[in-house]
Amino acid sequence: MSVKNKYISVLEQLLIHLKNAKLEYLRAADVASQTEDKRYFNQQALLRNRFFHEVLSQLQNENINLEDLVVRNFNFDQLLISSIKGLKNSAYEKCLEADNHLKELYQKTMLLPIDSSLFEKQFEKNRVCHCSS
């Protein structure tokens, strides 16, 4: 597989995980009891949403038709199965798990022979939850 194809594949995976991470943070904000925690979770959801759009931009720069992306056609069965597995996990644990997946993908992208400065910044920004929930 060419470097460009690997790069596009990782970007698609990032889109899926960023969207899922955003949803986990929004869910965590819904169940958080303290105002500071709600604010923190909402800010983290916003950051992941912003980077989602930056990754979409990267794909457009690669002349990828956004209609062909896997992200447009989520596999809801897979999403349901993965959410059932983590049903017993707290909101904090789900956010932590989502962030760990994102960090793995950032590292994967940084190993490719491309300009990875955007992903290095995100890797540094991507914080795991530090709240009291």
Give the pLDDT confidence score for residue 77 in this predicted structure: 44
- Tell me: pLDDT of 130 over 50: no
- Tell me: pLDDT of 43 over 90: yes
Q: How far apart are CA 133 and CA 72, in angstroms?
A: 32
Q: How far apart are CA 39 and CA 10, in angstroms?
A: 30
CB 94 within 8 A of CB 84: no
Q: How far apart are CA 49 and CA 53, in angstroms?
A: 7
pTM of the entire predicted model:
0.71
- Tell me: pLDDT of 76 over 60: no
Q: Across residues 83-104, what is the average pLDDT?
A: 72
Q: Across residues 46-62, what is the average pLDDT?
A: 88
- Tell me: pLDDT of 20 over 50: yes
| Nearest alpha-carbon partner for 51 in 7, 4, 19 | 19
- Tell me: pLDDT of 115 over 50: yes
Q: Across residues 30-39, what is the average pLDDT?
A: 91
Pick the CATH number of 3-125 from 3.40.1000, 3.30.70, 1.20.1260, 1.10.10: 1.20.1260
Neighbours of 66 (CB within 10 A): 11
CB 11 within 8 A of CB 55: yes
| Nearest alpha-carbon partner for 93 in 39, 42, 28 | 28
